[in-house]
Amino acid sequence: MTSETKSPLQEMLQSNPHLAPLKVDYLYHLGLNTSMDLKGMFGDVKFVLMGGSPDRMLELITRASVELGLGKLIPVGCAIAPVGKHERYHLYKLGPIISVSHGMGMPSMSILLHEITKLMHYAGASDFTFIRVGTSGGLKVTPGTVVITTQALNGLLEPFHYSHVLGKTLKRPCDMDERLAAEIFACKGDIPAVLGKTMSTDDFYEGQARLDGYLCDYGPEDRFNFLSKCHEAGVRNIEMEAAEFAEFCTRAKVSGAVVCVAILDRLGASADQVTSTPEQLLQFNSNAISLVFNFIRSRLGL
Ligand code: R2B
Ligand code: URA
């Protein structure tokens, strides 16, 4: 390291100098803290893969052990198990990969992003990439197609994320790393995938123009007009975390991508209800994971 290049820790202290006086920093929701050997545990991480559900993230890391040949790193007689506490998030680590659940919605995603990014910096990890590997509702996209986000939009179709801080509303850009999105897209092979904008909402039902929630104050025409307007604006899928993820990665200067499979077409026959069978959903999710694995293989030269 030259006198000009900063260590990951120095970079973080520049982002938030209030961390410097902490003797021990407790990453409360992960059940990890800086009195632990975080460098030994996580210093080699290059890919932080995040998805909503703990089960899916276990499936992902289990597949990585086989398909990326990382199983040889598991000592004989040991099995994959979550690291830290798993009351809120489930975090798995195998070789250069962390697979961690983020729960549903932007508040849950935000907490994970703060703690996982601090973890990467305390661990001295470098050149790491964050990827949200998730599910979404497509717009004129065949179920099973993976959408790689080029720009995140909020529920007002703006390329901004609003946060309330110290009693004020902050409007922050939620741009994606378009080069990374293109790099991932180039790894698609036979997997159905498109590049497109992603709208992130704070709700699954009214926030996504569904008619099948417990409450609903609009009709089918309003729903169709809004979803069509989203499609015309370049939106190809709708989910609940990309805007927060994009905003955080932009501010933290972390290279990040959102790779979500469409599990239904909101402008097609499947409308609002998710009617696919568990087997079909497994295959859809598998498409997103396979695409991310293709990208990891290409990055690692495997
Ligand atoms: C996709 O799926 C979840 C809602 O079912 C939510 O976390 C999202 O973004
Ligand atoms: N996740 C969402 O947020 N919306 C959908 O329609 C499907 C999955």
Q: b/e string for 103-138 if b means 16 or more Cβ within 10 A?
A: bebbebbbbbbebbbbbbbbbebeebbbbbbbbbbb
Residue partners of 32: CB distance under 8 A and separation at least 6 = 38, 83, 84, 119
Residues 223-280: pLDDT tens digits? Answer: 999 999 999 999 999 999 999 999 999 999 999 999 999 999 999 987 899 999 999 9
Q: Which residues line ligand 1 (CB under 6 A)?
A: 52, 104, 134-136, 204, 239-241
For 15, the enclosing helix (H) or strand (E) is helix 8-15
Q: Which atom of ligand 2 is nearest to the CA of 263?
A: 7
Question: From atom 5 of ligand 1, which residue's Cα is the shortest distance away?
Answer: 204
> Are residues 21 and 27 in contact, defined by beta-carbon separation less than 8 angstroms?
no
Residues 116-160: pLDDT tens digits? Answer: 999 999 999 999 999 999 999 999 999 999 999 999 999 999 999
Please report how many Cα atoms fall inside a 13 Å half-sphere around the Cα of residue 122, on the Cβ side.
22
275 backbone dihedrals φ, ψ, rounded to 5°: -110, 0
Question: 157: phi > 0 → left, psi -120 to 50 → alpha, else beta; which?
Answer: left
User: 239: Cβ below 6 Å to ligand 2?
Assistant: yes
CA of 155 to the centre of ligand 1 (A): 14
Q: Which residue, chain included where needed, has tokens 């409007």?
A: 171
pTM metric for this prediction = 0.96
Q: Residue 151: what residue type?
A: Q
Helix boundaries (H) for 91-202 = 106-122, 178-185
Distance between CA 271 and CA 242 in Å, rounded? 22
CA of 203 to the centre of ligand 1 (A): 9
CA of 137 to the centre of ligand 2 (A): 4
Question: Tell me, what DSSP letter sits at residue 101?
Answer: E
Residues 41-100: pLDDT tens digits? Answer: 999 999 999 999 999 999 999 999 999 999 999 999 999 999 999 999 999 999 999 999
User: 109, 147, 204: which to mutate for ligand 1, most atoms within 8 A of CB?
Assistant: 204
CA of 76 to the centre of ligand 2 (A): 39
Environment class of 198 (CB within 10 Å of its CB; exposed 0-12, middle 13-18, buried 19+): buried
Q: Which ligand is nearest to the CA of 207?
A: 2
pLDDT of residue 4: 65
CA of 218 to the centre of ligand 2 (A): 19
For 281, the enclosing helix (H) or strand (E) is helix 278-300
Give CA angle at 271 (267, 274), nearest 5°: 130
Distance between CA 162 and CA 137 in Å, rounded? 22
Q: Are strands 97-101 and 47-51 parallel, antiparallel or unpaired?
A: parallel
User: 205: Cβ below 6 Å to ligand 2?
Assistant: no
Question: From atom 1 of ligand 2, which residue's Cα is the shortest distance away?
Answer: 136
> Are residues 105 and 207 in contact, defined by beta-carbon separation less than 8 angstroms?
no
